[in-house]
Structure 1
Amino acid sequence: MANPFAIIWVFCAIPLLFIRLPLTSAYALSVAAMIVVINSLFFASNLDIATISRLALAGGLIIIAIGIFAKMHITVTRQLSDTTELLKGTLEAISQGVSVIGADKRYKLFNQQTCDLLHLPASLLASKPTLPEVVQYQIDRDDFRDFGEVTPDARAYIFSRGVNVDEHTKRNYVRKDAQGRFIEVKTHPMPSGDVVRTYADVSQYENVSKQLRELLAEQQVMSQLILQQVRQRMIDSMTSLALTRDNETGLHIQRTKLYVKTLAQAWSGGEGYRERLSNDRIEKITAAAPLHDLGKVGIPDHILLKPSHHTADETVIMRTHAILGETILLAAAGNDYTPDSIFNIAARIAGGHHENWDGSGYPSRKQ
């Protein structure tokens, strides 16, 4: 005698075998199987009609539940398939490369733009390699030959080969590939533990930025040259102004310029002066030397050009030329407080060129 429960479980499993068939077909097969089993129970067992009816009812309810489950499964599967296709279509429509890397650092998803931008075969990413394996593949292929065009963050990442790197830290870097393109790589950690990486060709932006930097550098060089020329013209004008006031002073200015350069070059090799008297500084001191008597333009002619000795009062006025010269040159320096600027050097020379080693000079009696 057939086991009724075994038979019922067998026919209840039938709809699962046909879950991919249309629901009407699945229900028809299930009902047919139920009829066969009921007949088998009726003729092959001594079960009464009431028991068989209860079993048939239970079987019918199970079939209905399985049918509902099958319908839900088909609906969810169709929605998931549609969503997957939509996601794939969206990924392929995006101009950027997009890849999803799991918590185990294996590639889970990628679009064709990722392969194109990274110049990677689709079969490689389709095999679900780990991120360090892909980085090593790129290193072996010499993708990172031009480190001069790679940002420091990218260099550190490449040197690490993606090993022991916290990919769940948001980062952004730019590197230059073997084809000369600038690729911007962004890492976006996800709450699920996955990481989304995006890749974009920013070559146009980087090239324009490079051209702008070069233009700015050229402009800075030109500005410095123009500034030097302006300063030199100002120095020449100030020197000429001093020359027009006193011929003897004019000859004195030229002699002083030669003396200053000779002394500075001689001292530059001595202990304590070697670092302070570089060639550039000596040139600035030499250029500034002619302005040491510039303050004499503020001295009245009857004192400045007096052929005889000055009186005590005249001497006091005459000695103010040091302070006058320093004041004029500091005004010319403006907001440039750099100690090595030529006008600041000239101001210190003008203000201190009458000081003596023993403190007997003027105006500040420096030692």
Structure 2
Amino acid sequence: MMRKPEDCTLMVVDDTETNIDLLLDTLGPEYEVMVAIDGATALEHAKASPPDLILLDIMMPGMDGFEVCRRLKQDARTKDIPIVFITAMNEVLDEHKGLALGAVDYITKPFNPAIVRVRVHNHLSLKLAKEALADQNASLEERVRERTKELEQTQDVTIQCIASLAETRDMETGEHIRRSQHYVRTLARHLRNHPRFRHALDSSLFIDQLFKSAPLHDIGKVGVPDRILLKEGPLTKEECEEMKRHTIYGYEALQRAEKGMSGQKSFLSTAAEIAHTHHERWDGTGYPRGLKGDEIPVSGRLMAIADVYDALISKRSYKKAFSHEKAVSIITEGDGRTLPRHFDPDVLEAFMKEAETFRSIAKRFCDGDPL
């Protein structure tokens, strides 16, 4: 509930007893009034128990009112207290100086008690309204943060569920999804200051989008027939071509989904890009479009090496799981294939430098026996 002006505390700062008594008679019946007879005492009291408004004389021994005002405005504990100068100094330059220091009003002596009461009431009402607005804004911001967090959690769970559906169709696991996310983020963070990648990875928001998007890289597998997806033996040429179309199915589905979203580029756009390009190869021998070199989006280049590493260390119906060392050796040196030339050389170098991080991620989200 918003406070009322009459609930406020004032401080009168003046070195003359007569002036203090007059202000107490004027304001005492409506407000609790503190008194300080010099600048040093006023500063001490204001910091210890901040009043809601200060009525401040200028001509005082030792520290004058201008200096008191300046110090109050420099201190975070007291800078927002409204200050009303009430003084016999009636020159325009004096008034200008007082207001320039941050005072909200300037009243000259001798003053009219009725005018002082009205001005004090008005300044207190304004202060309390500002406080109420600040409280309301803080409450609204907290509600927005909570709602945003709920939406993000819902989004993340939905992504995981959809991705898990695709992965379980070809006997992969939800742990594969989590590993892939962390592999991609590891590479992105390593390369974010690299001259070739700085333009794409300089944003923490984009790296977060990569992390969210990675689980959807194989979402297109839901469009591949079971007779091909679950086949234990070698695929025919025709079956291989159909399997490759999962990159197109995923891309088209995610693009359709993104069209329903307004505003800035969403994670679905990044997800569509990853789904479409994570099987492209640096030497141009990949699919579905045979992109080469920098034609391949950065997201696809990162996902490519993450996907191959995880495929190598994972057990499949047609292969055993390789050790971490063997997987790294195949990726960096090959095993009779031209595998190293499939990857962006700088991404491959980042993988080599982060190899132990990949091992740690694989252990953390392990399907079975640790590497």
> TM-score scaled by structure 2?
0.44
Q: Which is bigger in relative contact order (C-alpha 8 A, separation at least 6)?
A: 2
Larger Rg: 1
Normalising by the residue count of structure 1, what TM-score does the alignment of the two structures yield?
Answer: 0.44
